[in-house]
Structure 1
């Protein structure tokens, strides 16, 4: 029985390293990709927001860690996870690597969510190796481009450094960020981003992609890694007019480089 336990631990470690290696390959693609150059002629309100957040437009990547939980499907129950994320600042891309702990060593999931070169990728694996969900194609590309925009509150240097992002100040004071036809809208309170909204984001549900309106709430703004960020975020879809969150998490480590 002791040897079985040792073998189980070794297998879990090996599979975790497999998933981490795949994420590192994607991260290098994101990090080395050249973007459209620094943003110019930004609206004054957008430049002021970046300044309040401590953005300098320097570095290639924002790197951070999260302690979070997800509900894979409505009513399925929340599962704890830890994640690492790399967000490109000069180009448009990110890699999110999460590990969801199950009931035992062979019930852990690894999830890689990524966007690079205009292509999105979503892969979930049991024990880090056996694929249980995989998605790609134009709708996933759109979904992941939306995610990149939605998480700009966690990568404010991209506001200054990524010229591919279009910005517009709406009549009610909200800020619209776009990549071509893909866009999200931010609402501010007291100069801080507190909410994100987007229309028609693809949601993978039971193997089928469904377009739903999307909303995120940001809170607990504070200093971390030389930036002022919302330390907590919660994201969900509108289902029959009701906002149903599926992710909530906290930033616990942050750096730009």
Structure 2
């Protein structure tokens, strides 16, 4: 069975059908892209997969478990984590605390220990602090550990959001336009980073992105969405030459 299997998924908002009969299969270890013009429904799909929206029809199977309709925290606990198109850090918390928040779902101490500050609480917090610093070092953010997240440069905020998602120990990482707002050099570095974390953490990655150089350079397989419907699926080379894809992008060259 695929790690993620989406069967006939649809979502309507009133009379508007944002996603129609979506079918996606993602195998463990794959790096898959989801692309499409603005308004095609890409972020709606991420919101469906992660429990932000409840499907109108269809089912979402993650490791053969139907996760349709689960709350976001339940989906995260099962092993699916995401970033957002618009960065959603805790701006008034420092960098290390942003990462530690994601570790807390796996905390080894009880609420009672936290309230009364038992030794298990301090031990657990120390372990999360150490793990958080390890993640920050991987992302080159260790020098920012005590800085407020809102004060980081834009590119570093993007990296921090990915680090926080990884702190949840996901099996499937969903990246929603991680290169948005980045300059070409930052995008190039992000491409290398995505490859690196996929190998280091043995992750499966589903990526939404408008930057075609990133998508074509890093993804092994791509789904193309238009008006809430999959119109093409294949390798980057197949997608670049697909007439339906070219038409959906208003005749612009893809890649």
TM norm. shorter chain > 0.5: no
Higher RCO structure (Cα 8 Å, ≥6 apart): 2
- More helix per residue: 1 or 2? 2
Structure 2 length as normaliser, TM-score?
0.32
Structure 1 length as normaliser, TM-score?
0.32
